[in-house]
Amino acid sequence: MRVVLLGPPGAGKGTQARRLAARWSVPQIATGDMLREAVTHGTPLGLEARRYMDAGELVPDMVIIGLVRERLAQPDGRKGFVLDGFPRTPGQAQALDQLLEAEGTPLDRVVLFEMADEEPVARLSGRLVCRNCGRNYHLTLSPPRVPGRCDVCGGGLYQRTDDEEATVRRRLAVYARDTRPLVDYYRRRGLLTTISGAGTMDAVHASLVKAIEGPR
């Protein structure tokens, strides 16, 4: 399977992408994680990307496309993938199409997670991340057993700069401006399916699997 997950920040795409990747034994390719790793390690790419991420803006296309091209060229990416956080603009979508068509491996399906704006704001502004292992928590929905400490490794928890409420709202505005045009792009190509991103993790996952594996 070669699948793209679309939706606003906080829609749960990352969680669902990991479950799909495990189901199909293919990699989850999350450009946000790739960029944050570059930021953590202080690479030239990370330093360039950080100022965009902290401001809630999109990282330039040429940087993201280069990362994705390198990742898809790895052996495990050749048998399928779940793309999470890419593409985010029509230009990125066209570049991805060209890359996959050149390899004879076009996309199978694109799934859009629909949500009202206030739900992503509530989800993200309460999110906490472990500095050590990267596990996610939420202040009210899934708090750690010990406040400020990861249940798994004991690492300290923190709120990412791009999860602060003001930045989340800017990210949603950027999504509406730059990413929503992808809906029409993929609908015209007959690849788009829409599901609700609200509800429990298991309910959303069941809808997602049905949307991808069921008949078009």
CA-to-CA separations, 189 to 108, 109, 110, 185, in angstroms, rounded = 11, 10, 10, 7
Tell me if residue 19 is catalytic.
no
Tell me if residue 210 is catalytic.
no
Q: Which sequence spans correspond to the domains of the chain? A: 2-113+165-213
* pLDDT single digits (tens) 88-106: 888 899 999 998 998 889 9
Tell me if residue 88 is catalytic.
yes
Q: pLDDT above 90 covers what percent of the chain?
A: 39
**Which position among 18, 160, 169, 187 bears the catalytic label?**
160
* pLDDT single digits (tens) 18-60: 899 999 999 999 887 777 777 888 877 778 778 887 777 777 8
**Which position among 19, 50, 123, 171 bears the catalytic label?**
171
Mean pLDDT across the stretch 171-185?
87
Nearest in space to 111 (alpha carbons), one of 40, 37, 174, 19: 19
**Which position among 13, 19, 36, 71 bears the catalytic label?**
13
Tell me if residue 171 is catalytic.
yes
N- to C-terminal Cα separation, the chain: 14
Strand partners, 130: 157
Show the DSSP H helices in the chain as ranges. Answer: 13-24, 31-40, 44-54, 61-72, 90-103, 118-125, 165-174, 181-188, 201-213
Single pTM value for the model = 0.78
Instruction: Give residue 61's pLDDT.
Output: 82
Tell me if residue 79 is catalytic.
no
pLDDT at 192 over 80: yes
Do 12 and 197 contact (CB within 8 A), yes or no? Answer: yes
**Which position among 19, 36, 88, 123 bears the catalytic label?**
88
* pLDDT single digits (tens) 120-166: 888 888 889 999 988 889 888 789 999 999 999 999 999 988 888 88
Mean pLDDT across the stretch 8-27?
90
Question: At the fourth CATH level, which superfamily is domain 2-113+165-213?
Answer: P-loop containing nucleotide triphosphate hydrolases (3.40.50.300)
d(CA 123, CA 104): 38
Instruction: Give residue 216's pLDDT.
Output: 66
Instruction: Give residue 163's pLDDT.
Output: 87
d(CA 92, CA 55): 20
